[in-house]
Structure 1
């Protein structure tokens, strides 16, 4: 079995230079990198990550925990986190928790056992803070877990303000907001706060339709939307708390003969891929998901290095106007 000395001999380089290429340390010319990679391929040499991690005292792996990787929003988070991790020669261990507190805690114990350097957590459970105090550094996305765990989030209040103001400026008089579960203390709840406050400031009585966690996991909101149309047949504007909800509003409105945007104007939230694919294309609040992941990963790296990091990072959002308004 080939070792690093064999790679160095074949490449005509010192063992130290090969080591710097493998660990991405210091300036190394592209020519030198190519020599090392070609020698590795010829010798079928694969670096022993475990041995390297023991020497360096870190494993170059991070845990990423999400509720559902099949949800478009969390799918994009995983995609971008893996992208930034790969750029820094990190690998991710993906944990799909399905909202289950016990599963999250079990995954946390497993990640500790694998000695990951840190964890990026997209948790929807409220009471796991005490269980995860001791362990690798953690950064949370879209969730305030405690005053000791840094988190990164979009400006949800500004998003709610932009969406509601847009509907009012488009002439809507009876506006509904379909939101997530109000029992969860999520940063996304600020969207609802902004909706209600903006409506009242403009003399519009807010209509709020709350959904639950089972619907979030199944991504099925048809009953809520149908009940909204039955109870408020004259609703002329809807601010949906996700593009998934908004896409289902479009489907049900079409079945009931409600024309969008002529009879009903609609704004979503997230700006995931589906937003541009609906008919009509969806006006929505763009969350900077790529930047969220970049900041989260950089914060985690700083924590791993022992640096002091900000506890709260809020990124701006903007409204993307398409044909649904």
Structure 2
């Protein structure tokens, strides 16, 4: 296998000049560059990226820790991070954790051993205290509120967004509400904030039979809708933790001839527009882009990004602003 010395010998230029061409650093005349590139091609020489990373102290890679890859929420967030990384000549590597704490610590150890220039946690099961322990090995950002912990983050105030939507429902006379959450309130900050928002608005804990936990797919939405109607024949609203789940719930409501029940999703995916139900847009694209940018700041920054309740179907308000999907159609 050819090395940089072979390229220098064949091209007739010094190793330092060849290095400048390989790494695109410093001035090299066009003629010299062409001669070196011709020698590289003749020798079938390819740059050793590992050696380059060691010499520069950078890998130009970031790790993106996410619990699931095949989930619309994390797909949208990851897509934004990838686009931001690409625009800055970085690669983003997906690190699936399945909310396994040992796995998440393993990813932190990868940062410790310089496998990445930084880590982005889209969601996590380990504590913020554990993440702080690894800050000395490289930058880490989170796509959720990190509160008083010294960890940079880009996030929406989820409780505020839930309270806003539930208050609208209450003001319009809705009282019989079923809710879906992704995990138990003991392990999920979002689930805990959902139930706390309900209590804040309605002044009481939600009926446990009207709270469907471990909701992740369209099929969970189908199951939840049937469970809620079996528990409360006067059900008025299904407040779900994602648009795909909301779509499943709406489909089941149609099968049960209960189109009168309002369905609310989250994240403003195209399916919420196509099936005409309201959704909470937590601005995942903006969060993903900001989370990547914050990796390379010299200070701890908390970047709040306001959510928006997009009213469709029975809740549609003509005074509401156009969302991104409406703008595309216009």
More off after superposition, 282-291 vs 170-179: 170-179
Partner of 2:225: 225
1:289 equivalent among 264, 272, 284? 284
1:198 equivalent among 187, 201, 204? 201
Partner of 2:123: 123
Asked if the contact 1:239–1:268 (Cα under 8 Å) also holds between the matched residues in 2, the reply is: yes
Equivalent position SS for 1:220: helix
Asked if the contact 1:126–1:185 (Cα under 8 Å) also holds between the matched residues in 2, the reply is: no
1:195-229 Cα deviation digits (max 9, x unpaired): 332234xxx9955633434x438962444332211
In the alignment, is residue 248 of structure 1 matched against residue 243 of structure 2? Answer: no
In the alignment, is residue 182 of structure 1 matched against residue 185 of structure 2? Answer: yes
Asked if the contact 1:152–1:314 (Cα under 8 Å) also holds between the matched residues in 2, the reply is: yes
1:129-150 Cα deviation digits (max 9, x unpaired): 4377133221111263871322
Two-structure CA RMSD over aligned residues (Å)? 3.7
More off after superposition, 119-128 vs 226-235: 119-128
1:246-304 Cα deviation digits (max 9, x unpaired): 11210221121111xxx111221121343233xx32210111111101111111111xx
Partner of 2:113: 113
Equivalent position SS for 1:192: helix
1:115-139 Cα deviation digits (max 9, x unpaired): 3111001333144743771332211
Supply the distance in 2 between the matched residues of 1:222 and 1:251 (Cα, whole angstroms): 7
Q: Note closer, same or farther for the CA distance 1:92–1:234 as it changes in structure 2 (3 Å cut).
A: same
Partner of 2:319: none
Supply the distance in 2 between the matched residues of 1:41 and 1:320 (Cα, whole angstroms): 56
Asked if the contact 2:216–2:245 (Cα under 8 Å) also holds between the matched residues in 1, the reply is: no
The normalised TM-score by structure 1 is: 0.76
Partner of 2:152: 150
TM-superposed deviation, 1:234: 0.6
In the alignment, is residue 319 of structure 1 matched against residue 328 of structure 2? Answer: no
Equivalent position SS for 2:167: helix
Q: Note closer, same or farther for the CA distance 1:57–1:228 as it changes in structure 2 (3 Å cut).
A: same
TM-superposed deviation, 1:161: 2.6
Equivalent position SS for 2:186: coil
Aligned pairs, number: 299
Supply the distance in 1 between the matched residues of 2:287 and 2:205 (Cα, whole angstroms): 33
Partner of 2:166: 164
Asked if the contact 1:163–1:239 (Cα under 8 Å) also holds between the matched residues in 2, the reply is: no
Q: How does 1:33-52 map to 2 (within 5 A)?
A: 46-52=46-52
Partner of 1:95: 95
Supply the distance in 2 between the matched residues of 1:218 and 1:257 (Cα, whole angstroms): 19
1:147-169 Cα deviation digits (max 9, x unpaired): 13222211212321332233345
Asked if the contact 1:159–1:318 (Cα under 8 Å) also holds between the matched residues in 2, the reply is: yes
5+ residue gaps, structure 2: 12-16, 316-330
